[in-house]
Structure 1
Amino acid sequence: MTAVTKRFGQFTAVDNLSLDVPEGQIIGFLGPNGAGKSTSLRMGLGIMEPDSGSVELFGRAPNVQSLRRVGFLPEERGLYKKMTARDTISHFARLKGLSASDARARADELLEATELGEFSRSRISKLSKGMAQKVQILSTLAHRPDFLILDEPFSGLDPVNQQALENLIRAEHDRGATILFSTHVMEHAERLCDRIVMMARGRKVLDGTLKEAFASLGQGARISVEHGFDLAAALSPKGFEAIRTADVGHGETWRIELPPGREAQDALRAALEAGAPITGFAPEEARLRDVFVSLVGEADAAALEASLAEDGVA
């Protein structure tokens, strides 16, 4: 999609968004609830028309043929309560072009692979919430789509099923699928994604690889040295800024600010070359949540925390 904007009355849900999804990648579409992620995905599929800008799916405007190559899990979950798990998956597979026999075989394969085989003939109404959500996810990918779009797929799943879904996403990627998933739980993106796109208040605030995202954050490392050694003076000629933060036993701990493109190991190597009597070393582990907070204001950071609280994530 290119420069798409969508308004609802006076409210701008998506503001001048351009998003490219290269074939074969796993891309995380990140941001708090209300950031414009779901609206963007719907426009990308032709479900919703943008007020301005353009959308292409497989090189042309979304149409019936191109949508057959897509598996879409909407944020709003919905299944036929009186249908069995097996019939549900095979039904959606048939809608995407599989024959009746192939659809049933595919349903059985997926249910067995996800340890739901014994529930294949159970009605959706009799399944737990987590099981029903797994059935809907399996229905999304039953036809082996080229492009898998998952809108908040981890929402409502317990940690065990979240891990199972991560494994399923990796398996689909290994099969050759391109995957775009939205989430406000950024740890999933850290583990899965080739690239991330961050949204806040309808605008894109970051688009790049994980390494590029972390490079936008002021990262650092902590080095402890024996008391009396001036680490700041030793590292300054090597391009590192060091600030003493605490006294530890017979030594001192310094925080090293890492310039763009430099890593914690570079700071450690520079300290060793300067003859620093090192007693401790620890790189600071950056998180995508830290990147997001650094890019947006306090209100948007608070919105992310509120989204996590709604989903029961500490």
Structure 2
Amino acid sequence: MKAQIGEARLAGNAAATRPLAIEARGLVKRFDGFTAVDGVELAVPEGAIYGILGPNGAGKTTTLRMLLGIIDPDAGYRRVLGAERPHDVARAIGYLPEERGLYPAMKAVEAIAFVGALRGLPLREGRRRARDLLEGHGLGYAADRQIRQLSKGMAQQVQILGTLVHRPRLVVLDEPFSGLDALNQGKLEKMIRGLADEGTTVIFSTHVIAHAERLCDEVAIIAGGKVPFAGPVDVARDRIPAQVRLETRASTGPWLAALPEGARQEGRFWHFALPDTGVEPLLRTLIEGDAGILSLSIERAGLHDAFVAIAGEAAARALEAGAGDEEMR
């Protein structure tokens, strides 16, 4: 495990040279004899967008709660923003829990200011920032509406803004896209990128691969309470060789012997894994052998394929089932 994490962090990724916002080693948590988290190891660079990707029940929420000091691990080590006690840096952290909830009678601006006050922000300043945030995210018209008067999506956006109002150095979001429609998911993705551009570290959990693939510098894949991979997204994808799709004018010739072992033909197309030597030597042989190249494309594996290879088919099916349930809501 430690070797995998070290290899991933050093594999040509600039983030590996940054100080760590979060470091966790060997985190374990048991509930009534059930091991919910079993030896989780994470290294989240400052300023990164970091995803914890796994199916429902994999241990994502428990891991985040241990990192934040909401619950203590039964074993293991954690350091958050340089502190071994997460509560010592609580005012520098913004946290959106999986369980959403705001006081329904509160006005949106007051709800945001209240959440900021819990992190030490004076209410007067919180109200001023709340109005600025609401205006900046197209919700200025809702500032003085009660939470009960807002749609579910709008109320969730208000809670997210409350997570940010005190300008934290670290933002932790537990399933932040759950319950949002496609438009508001896009807005949240833009917001997360903006935070990272400003130097804020963002760590979020999700069971939807697309969000992690679009946003994350690094991911931790979690299944059954374990983390079989943690590191750059590109390193995860490179676990599976890129695939070549080749179309030739000629159907026979000496160039056929140059195709890698395992190459298969489907109609006019050949499909095979990209050789370790790269595509250039193969191209030279194809050209010299008069194969008549009509088309050639190289497709890298997606994060979904990497997840299947790393976590297994059962975890991938559970992940897809959770994403399907979300789409039906």
TM-score by length of 1: 0.90
The C-alpha deviation readout for 1:255-292, integer Å capped at 9, x for no partner, is: 12124685x78865774466531112233352211111
The correspondence for 1:179, drawn from 156, 180, 202, is: 202
Match of 1:254 in 2: 270
Q: Which residue of 1 aligns with 2:20?
A: none
Tell me the amino acid that sits aligned with residue 258 of structure 2. A
Q: Displacement of 1:157 after TM fit?
A: 0.7
Describe how 1:1-314 pairs up with structure 2 within 5 A.
Answer: 1-229=24-252, 232-235=256-259, 240-241=260-261, 243-247=263-267, 252-259=268-275, 262=278, 271-272=286-287, 275-312=290-327
**What per-residue deviation string (whole Å, max 9, x for no partner) do you get for residues 104-132 of structure 1?**
11101110111111011111111111001
Structure 1 Cα separation of the partners of residues 277 and 148 of structure 2: 53
**How many residues get paired?**
305
Q: Which amino acid aligns with 2:316?
A: A
Q: Could you list the per-position Cα deviations for residues 121-162 of structure 1 after superposition, in whole angstroms to 9, with x for gaps in the alignment?
A: 111111111001101111001111100111110111111100
The CA distance in 2 between the partners of 1:140 and 1:266, in whole Å, is 53
CA 1:257–1:60 in structure 2 vs 1: closer, same or farther (change >3 Å)?
Answer: same
| Contact 2:238-2:301 at 8 Å conserved across structures | no
Cα displacement string for residues 207-232 of structure 1 (whole angstroms, at most 9, x for unaligned residues): 12121111102330211111323554
Q: Do 1:215 and 1:260's aligned partners in 2 also have CA atoms closer than 8 Å?
A: no
SS in 1 for 2:327: coil
Does the CA-based 8 Å contact 1:234-1:274 persist in structure 2?
Answer: no
State TM-score, norm by structure 2: 0.86
Q: Return the letter of the residue paired with 2:308.
A: V
Once the two structures are superposed, residues 39-59 of structure 1 have per-residue CA deviations (whole angstroms, 9 ceiling, x without a partner) of: 000000111111111222122
Name the amino acid aligned to 1:90: A
Distance change in 2, residues 1:272/1:41 (3 Å): farther
1:254 partner amino acid: W
Q: Check conservation: 2:68, 2:87, Cα contact below 8 A.
A: no
The 3-state SS of whatever aligns with 1:181 is strand
CA distance in 1, matches of 2:161, 2:217: 23
Distance 2:51 2:178 in 1: 14
Secondary structure at the counterpart of residue 323 of structure 2: helix
Letter in 2 for 1:38: T
- For 1:259 and 1:7, the matched residues in 2 are separated by 45
Q: For 1:8 and 1:200, how far apart are their aligned partners in 2?
A: 17
Amino acid at match of 1:233: A
Q: Which runs of 4+ in 1 moved over 4 A?
A: 259-262, 264-275
Where do 5+ consecutive residues of structure 2 fail to align?
Answer: 1-23
Q: Distance in 2 between matches of 1:260 and 1:155?
A: 40
Gaps of 5+ in 1: none
Q: SS in structure 2 opposite 1:21?
A: strand
> Which one-letter code corresponds to 1:111 in the other structure?
L
Code of the residue aligned with 1:183 in structure 2: it is T
- The Cα RMSD (Å) is 2.2
Give the letter aligned to residue 326 of structure 2. Answer: D
- Identical aligned pairs, as a percentage? 45
Shift of 1:297: 2.9
CA contact (8 A) 1:195 1:210 kept: yes
